[in-house]
Amino acid sequence: MKYVLVTGGVVSGLGKGVTASSIGVLLKACGLRVTCIKIDPYLNTDAGTMSPFEHGEVFVLDDGGEVDLDLGNYERFMDIKLTRDNNITTGKIYQSVIDKERKGDYLGKTVQVVPHITDEIQDWIERVAMIPVDGKEGPVDVCVIELGGTIGDIESMPFIEALGQFSYRVGPGNFCLIHVSLVPVLNVVGEQKTKPTQHSVRGLRGQGLTPNILACRSTVALDDNVKGKLSQFCHVPEQNIITLYDVPNIWHIPLLLRDQKAHEAIFKVLNLQGTTKEPLLKEWTSRAEICDGLHEPVRIAMVGKYTGLSDAYLSILKALLHASVDLRKKLVIDWIPACDLEDATEKENPDAYKAAWKLLKGADGILVPGGFGNRGVQGKILAAKYAREHRIPYLGICLGMQVAVIEFARSVLNLRDANSTEFDPNTKNPCVIFMPEGSKTHMGGTMRLGSRRTYFQIKDCKSAKLYGNRTFIDERHPRLENAGLSFTGKDETSQRMEIVELPNHPYFIGVQFHPEYKSRPGKPSPLFLGLIAAACGQLDTLIQGSGSQGNLSAKLGNGIAMEKVYQKGTTKPAKVLSDGLYSYCNGVQV
């Protein structure tokens, strides 16, 4: 087994997760089987109870593990299925050691950080690295490990010590350390500064780890003299210094690594020279170029609770991007704080109220994601009502489905107090109730999580057609029908409603599961593909194409000219926007 460790220095948010994912893509393209482990030094057992404002979204795995969002990057980039044990936290390590101590496994010894905590970390890595994640039998070839945080953080020290010991345990030729660091350019002098990276590497070496490769983040490619300086002071060969400069979209990162021969540097350290093939990455090259060249926009209004931080909805953003690129559209996200749509905001902050409704009314499609708590629920209900009454394509996920049901019960069935028991335990008309798995006292790990099977109840509904007319699907979780609201998907017991649709609406679908977790570049989630297609007036063509070719985007994604008629009945001229994913928050570009 070979190990590649990715660490970060100078500042957080440099893109270690994308770098680790891209290294995995590159190694897979060379013919190797790859798995990933993310180490998060926080004391939480998992990410399940953390606020999205604290740490971005909580990504849910097939086995129900609630993990760091970087594992979502790993799965999307490498098209693998990880387990909860692929995310190591300080909380998990200490919990495991304390459980062993209570059982007497340490035979009365004094339990200490070294060797007990550090040994537990190393044993965990070795055990999880052997688990296949690509659907094949047998152990993988390379395990990519990302150490969260920044070198110098107090909470990371036990892990750094453990990884230093681990490099000796596995021996030379089996361990490669890639350090991601920042080379800033000061506007005053316009010069690339190496000192932050020098200090970061010095700190890393002072803790027992020496980098084999430097991956330097900068706005532009590093000058040759800068590489020479870094090589001299950091003791890294010049050919092992990679520049990760700013690019229009992250799909360019594996291509940057390939073009700078990062795989050859890794193979030299791991003694894999001559055992692999050249990475071509044709699909990645094509996808990155297509994304760069998109100019015809499709506007999706994201009505949520955590719109101040886009990472809170990272998987949804990626799923929308996968679908829009597949349909050759440039994605524009209009971020709308749900509470800004409510009547109270009209009185307290009329400008925010007007701006929010202007964005909602200008959208080609509306998406209401999941969330917890009362704040913003009424705004989400109003968004669902606007989409239903004005026939705007709508996709509701988890809470987004629930508010659609509540709105329908209130407006169509005239049940004015219809509600969820989560928000009003005493409602006389409960449309949504607590599941038996849920806990009203504990927050962590009490929901119905992981991959679950949903059975379609109606064969000719839009959601079934988008999934290729299958009888069931496996997606990840976290009397109305007589009035026109159709429950088209249920669980295996037929007790839980999983998919709801309005049959006479251009596109109005709510799902209890989270389809965004299984979306991949080149293989977008069918429901997100349907939303984008409906927002562009191409849903019928998309569904017809799925029946004859088995590929939902076959007729839309191969350059065939399509009439650009949007849902509101107007033909929109293409606006030229700059490259990349654009998002607006009440008119402010982020």
User: Which residues have a catalytic role annotated?
Assistant: 398, 514, 516
Rg (CA), the chain: 25
585 vs 398: CA distance, rounded Å: 23
What is the full DSSP assignment across 396-449? EETHHHHHHHHHHHHHTS--TT-EETTT-TT-SSEEE---TT--SS--TT-S--
Place of tokens 């050691």: 97
Token pair for 371: 């969330």
Q: What are phi and psi of 324, to 5 degrees?
A: -70, -40
370: nearest Cα among 239, 465, 510, 272 = 510
Beta strands 59-60; 419-420: pairing state: unpaired
User: Any residues with CB less than 8 A from the CB of 467 and at least 6 apart, and which?
Assistant: 456, 473, 526
564 vs 557: CA distance, rounded Å: 14
Sequence letter at residue 539: L
Instruction: Estimate to the nearest angstrom the gap between the alpha carbon of 419 and the chain centroid.
Output: 30
The tally of CA atoms less than 13 A away on the side-chain side of residue 8 is 22
Q: Is 108 helix (H, G, I), strand (E, B) or coil?
A: coil
Cβ(255)–Cβ(230) below 8 Å: no
Partners of residue 420 on adjacent β-strands: 432
Q: How many CB atoms lie within 10 A of CB 583?
A: 18
Cβ(310)–Cβ(53) below 8 Å: no
CB burial string 486-503: b at 16+ within 10 A, e below: bbbbbbeeeebbbbbbbe
Token pair for 454: 């949903």
209 vs 202: CA distance, rounded Å: 10
Cβ(590)–Cβ(310) below 8 Å: yes
Element (H, E) at 29: helix 16-29
Beta strands 142-147; 34-40: pairing state: parallel
User: Any residues with CB less than 8 A from the CB of 268 and at least 6 apart, and which?
Assistant: none
Token pair for 286: 């094509």
Partners of residue 582 on adjacent β-strands: 332
Token pair for 161: 């010590």
94 vs 385: CA distance, rounded Å: 48
Q: What are phi and psi of 421, to 5 degrees?
A: -70, -15
Q: How many CB atoms lie within 10 A of CB 457?
A: 17
Element (H, E) at 185: strand 185-186
